[in-house]
Amino acid sequence: MEPKIAEKAWDPKLENAILKKWKEEKLYDFQLSDNNYTIDTPPPYPSGRPWHIGAASHYAQIDMIARTARMSGKNVYFPIGIDRNGLPVELYTEKKHGIRMRETERGEFLELCKNALDDLEAEMIQIMKNLGLSGDFKNYYRTDSEDYRKFTQETFIDLWKKGIIYLATRPNNYDWVSGTTIADAEIVYEEIPTKLVYMKFITKETKKEIIIASTRPELLCACKTVIVNPNDERYSDLIGKELIVPLTNSEVKITPHHSAKIEFGSGAVMVCSYGDQNDVALFRELQLDEVIAIGLDGRMTEVAGEYQGLKPKQARTKIIEDLENANLVEKIEDISHRTPLSERSKTPIEIVPMEEYYLKQKDSLEKMKKLGEEIEFYPNMHKQILMNWLESISIDWPISRRRFYGTEIPIWYCNECSEPFVPEPGKYYRPWKDKCPAKKCVKCGNTEFTGEERTFDTWMDSSVSPLFVTKFNRDEEFFKKTYPTAIRPQAKDIVRTWLYYTLLRCEKLTGEKPWSEAWIMGYGLDEKGMKMSKSKGNAIDPLPVIEKSGADTFRFWSASEINQGYDFRCSEQKIESTRKFLSKLWNVSRFLSSFPVIKSGQLSESDKWILSELDKLISVCKEGYSKYNFFIPSTAIREFTWNIFAAQYIEIAKARAYGIGFTDEERDGAIFTLHKVLSTILKLLAPITPFITEHLWQTLYSQDSIHKENLPNIENLDDMSEMTQLLSEFNSKVWNEKKQKELSLKDSIKIDVPETLNQFKKDLIAMHNLESN
């Protein structure tokens, strides 16, 4: 009989036609019902080209979550969004156009960023579509749209009214040349020659000299403590004692701290506000009172006494001179020091306290821990990242940024008395260009205002994603039926940011947790296990890989190669080699397509055996799917299809399926079983490889989409798995013996079927053309 499937291999080019058909049939369009399963899809950030292949793999797996839920009878709401706020696009735009943000008119700069995002986003959307994501592309959202930003501002205004937002001063990276705070991402480090000055401090009690080495002697006036390593025996009897600071003659305590390196300098380190980031951490940890020694003009302040008005470098030269004159210097070493510089101005940054907005979180930590406990994590080990983070939070969340491409903080200040004005929600506000909606200041009656120029931290936007997609404060019925959402899938590197902030914000706004499950994926590394980056040149562009190998190949690679939650290595060669399995599946289907699909037949013992193995496979797959672990079903299906079904059962049943030497009833048993197994495999595999399964399903079994089917159920058949190894051992024995005797597989041979396989005797004799005994 001619096979219905003529082509000898799966052609990934067929995927386009299938995509088109799905779109025409509106197969994945979402209609609200009572059985909704909402995915809090991560909106990817278009930060550059190419998109990370690990991210593409990540989205392929999120789609498997959606398809698994759909084939489990859920009404799946799978929104698609793009995160477009934040620093990376600003840096990308500056580089692309050779401009600087602060030297460009704000509106013009925003336009350039927007265009850059549009280009990058188009590529990401294309990849997501090509991968076969069954998401709601028709309504895809952007976090920088007027609607989304209005929503972000509304949630801020709500929290402002609840009194959860406040202003406070904290140390910031400050580039006094360009007059701005800068983000950590804008700092570059350079080895710069400098002087390490060994200064003489005096113990208050015994008047003993203690030598302290520092590269920043001009900060003596801001010195608040001296730290020594608790294991440093030289100082163990001085811990807790007072020291007199040279020149300023103020008194500071000696504190033990592990960050003091015994071998650096004298082992004792002065802690000043602020010489470096370690000082910031220590001031916070030891709760020291900060002294502002360097002002926003980049010069020493009045606390520096006679050095006031000098730049830090000038003050350093002068203070070294004065220390030497007072015989307070033991020695000076010329060293090379890793110095943080502003990427823009290439001058050393200073750490200067500045006023920023904060969102209260410290008093919610217990509640967050409780919610964290309630949420099911996949895999469970990654819950620890959240719990450890909750343990270590020591300050409230700073939410304002001195950047342009973000949601504007909706506040105006009275020009007379600085009283802030926060507008009513319901409109998208841009205080840097919009007129203040208030006529006059409620406090002093003045009518002139200045708009806030700062924007929100980008997590302020993305942390309300589950509320935005469920139409919180927009559509009450929709919200009630979709929130809390079912699951938050995301990568593990942003558990402490996106996952935590979402938990915090949604709880503050709704009183409920945003999801009951969190699915955490590992990180995509290169083939040697190193992080991929454009500068290292080891980044793999996913688009050509998917175009060449096909989405299903890429998806099956992702499922079968990545252990849930663990980091994974990406290599094109490995992805391409996964295609062989799809080829196998195709050819199994091609062979079966030469037999009619029939409803029943008389089952032989071999049929019962393979059906019992199939039953086991269903059970393993469903267990894996229930944990959103696609490694389990993909590897189990490959193993079953290749090594049991194709290699053993099809060979055993082939002769009977052709009907030579068997009754019609016996023949039909084989044909029925072949199709039953294949159709079940297709359904089990549909969430992982939606294209090839759809094509084969529609060619062989139905006009309708396989993606409207439910996953198969187990039938609790008798376990015959002890037969599997016996059968394959016997078959191998016969094949090998024929090979040794240089016989064709069709040739007859005299081998006795062992007692243990007696029940399969008729099939085995026909299969191997055994001389009957």
Q: Which two tokens stand for residue 269?
A: 């380190």
Cβ contacts of 86 within 8 Å, gap of 6 or more: 45, 403, 405, 406, 458
Applying CB under 7 A, which part among 175-183, 405-413, 559-567, 683-691 lies near RNA?
A: 559-567
Task: Using CB under 7 A, pick the residue from 239, 244, 646, 770 that binds RNA.
Answer: 646
Q: Name the residue nearer to RNA (CB basis): 91 or 647.
A: 647
Closest CA to 186 of 321, 86, 298, 290: 86
Residues in CB range of 339: below 8 A, 6 or more apart: 189, 190, 191, 192, 194, 348
Task: Provide the b/e sequence for 563-589 (b: ≥16 CB within 10 Å).
Answer: ebbeebbbeeeebbebbebbebbbbbb
Report the nearest approach of RNA to the CB of residue 590 (Å): 4
Judged by beta carbon, residue 541 or residue 651, the one nearer RNA is 651
Query: Which range in 55-63, 115-123, 229-237, 579-587 contacts RNA by CB under 7 A?
Result: 579-587
Q: Shortest distance, CB of residue 585 to RNA, whole angstroms? A: 9
Give the nearest distance from C-beta 524 to RNA in angstroms.
Answer: 10
Q: How many residues belong to the chain?
A: 773
Q: For residues 398-427, which are near RNA according to CB under 7 A?
A: none
Structure tokens given for 674? 């072949």
Among 344, 590, 622, 656, binds RNA (CB under 7 A): 590
588 near RNA, judged by CB under 7 A: yes
Please name the residues in contact with 548: beta carbons below 8 A apart, sequence gap of 6 or more.
12, 576
Query: Token pair for residue 512?
Result: 């409920």
Find the shortest distance in angstroms from Cβ 315 to RNA: 24
Chosen residue from 226, 323, 650, 757 binding RNA by CB under 7 A = 650
In sequence order, which residues have a C-beta less than 8 Å from that of residue 460 and are 6 or more positions away? Answer: 152, 156, 399, 407, 501, 505
Q: Using CA atoms, how far apart are residues 198 and 329, in angstroms rounded to an integer?
A: 6
For the chain, the straight-line distance linking the first and the last C-alpha, in angstroms and rounded, comes to 32
Shortest CB 158 distance to RNA, Å: 26
Q: How far apart are CA 763 and CA 759, in angstroms?
A: 9
Residue 485 tokens, joined: 């959402």
3-state secondary structure 433-500: CCCCCCCCCCCCCCCCEEECCCEECHHHHHCCHHHHHCCCCCCHHHHHHHCCEEEEEEEHHHHHHHHH
Among 75, 587, 602, 619, binds RNA (CB under 7 A): 587
Which one, 337 or 584, has the nearer CB to RNA?
584
Longest Cα–Cα distance of the chain, Å, equals 113
Q: Spell out, one character per residue from 604 to 643, where the chain touches RNA: x when CB under 7 A holds, - when not.
A: ---------------------------x---x--xx--xx
Round to whole Å and give the CA distance between 139 and 145: 13
Pairing of strands 223-228, 251-256: parallel
Near RNA by CB under 7 A: residue from 388, 418, 748, 772: 388
| Residue 536 binds RNA, judged by CB under 7 A | no
Residue 178 near residue 436 (C-beta atoms within 8 A): no
Q: Verify binding: residue 231, RNA, rule CB under 7 A.
A: no
> Rule CB under 7 A: is residue 651 a binding residue for RNA?
yes
Asked if residue 321 lies in contact with residue 359, where contact means CB atoms within 8 angstroms, the answer is no
Does residue number 362 form part of the binding site for RNA (CB under 7 A)? no
Verify binding: residue 184, RNA, rule CB under 7 A: yes
Q: Which range binds RNA by CB under 7 A, 4-12, 29-37, 116-124, 547-555?
A: 4-12
Nearest residue (CB) to RNA, 488 versus 579? 579
Residue 287 makes contact with RNA by CB under 7 A: no
By CB under 7 A, tell whether 394 contacts RNA. Answer: no
Tell the smallest beta-carbon distance from residue 21 to RNA (Å): 23
How many amino acids of this chain bind RNA (CB under 7 A)? 64
Q: Which of residues 250-279 bind RNA (CB under 7 A)?
A: 258-259, 277-278
Nearer Cβ to RNA (206/740)? 740
Amino acid identity at 656 = R
Query: Does residue number 496 form part of the binding site for RNA (CB under 7 A)?
Result: yes
Among 14, 99, 177, 281, binds RNA (CB under 7 A): 281
Rounded Cα gap, residues 51 and 387, in angstroms: 31
Name the one range near RNA by CB under 7 A: 68-76, 227-235, 584-592, 609-617.
Answer: 584-592
Least gap, CB of 746 to RNA (angstroms)? 8
Query: Of 392, 535, 716, 773, which lies in the binding site for RNA, with binding defined by CB under 7 A?
Result: 392
Phi, psi at 472, each rounded to 5°: -60, 135
> HEC states along 740-767?
HCCCCCCCCECCCCCHHHHHHHHHHHHH
Q: How far apart are CA 199 and CA 247, in angstroms?
A: 10
Q: Is residue 721 close enough to count as binding RNA by CB under 7 A?
A: no
Stretch that binds RNA, among 7-15, 35-43, 86-94, 481-489 (CB under 7 A): 7-15
Nearer of residues 287 and 392 to RNA, judged by Cβ: 392
| CB-based burial label for 722 (10 Å; 0-12, 13-18, 19+) | exposed
By beta-carbon proximity to RNA, the closer residue of 142 and 579 is: 579
Question: Residue 98: helix, strand or coil by DSSP?
Answer: coil
Q: Which is nearer to RNA, 238 or 644 (CB)?
A: 644
695 binds RNA (CB under 7 A): no
CA–CA distance, 707 with 348 (Å, rounded to integer): 59
Distance between CA atoms of residues 312 and 323, nearest Å = 16
Nearer to RNA, 80 or 520 (CB): 520
| Distance separating alpha carbons of residues 58 and 76, to the nearest angstrom | 18
**Residue with token string 């001179």:** 321
Interface with RNA, residue 9, by CB under 7 A? yes
Q: How far is the CB of 80 from RNA (least distance, A)?
A: 23
Dig out the tokens for 134 from the structure: 């069954």
Helices 664-685 and 690-700: crossing angle in degrees, nearest 10, is: 150
User: Whose Cβ is closer to RNA: residue 17's or residue 381's?
Assistant: 381
Stretch that binds RNA, among 68-76, 98-106, 567-575, 596-604 (CB under 7 A): 567-575
Pick from 39, 213, 280, 329 the residue near RNA by CB under 7 A. 280
Site for RNA in 186-225 (CB under 7 A): none
- Site membership for RNA, residue 732 (CB under 7 A): yes
Interaction with RNA in 121-150: which residues (CB under 7 A)?
Answer: none
Q: Which of 591, 619, 759, 770 lies at the binding interface for RNA (CB under 7 A)?
A: 591
Count the Cβ atoms, other than its own, within 10 Å of residue 432: 17
User: Considering only residues 35, 287, 573, 716, which one is a binding residue for RNA as defined by CB under 7 A?
Assistant: 573
> Residues 47 to 106: which contact RNA by CB under 7 A?
none
Figure out which of the listed residues 13, 529, 660, 725 binds RNA, where binding follows CB under 7 A. 529
Distance, CA of 402 to CA of 72 (rounded, Å): 47
DSSP state of 630: S
Residue 259 CB, nearest approach to RNA (Å): 5
**For 602, which DSSP code?**
-
Determine the Cα–Cα distance for residues 340 and 414; give it in Å rounded to an integer.
Answer: 37
Quick check: 699 binds RNA (CB under 7 A)? no
Binding site for RNA (CB under 7 A): 3, 8-10, 184, 258-259, 277-278, 280-281, 381, 384-385, 388-389, 392, 492-494, 496-497, 523, 525, 527, 529-531, 561-563, 566-569, 571, 573-574, 577, 579-580, 583-584, 587-588, 590-591, 631, 635, 638-639, 642-643, 646-647, 650-651, 654, 732, 735-736, 739, 744-745
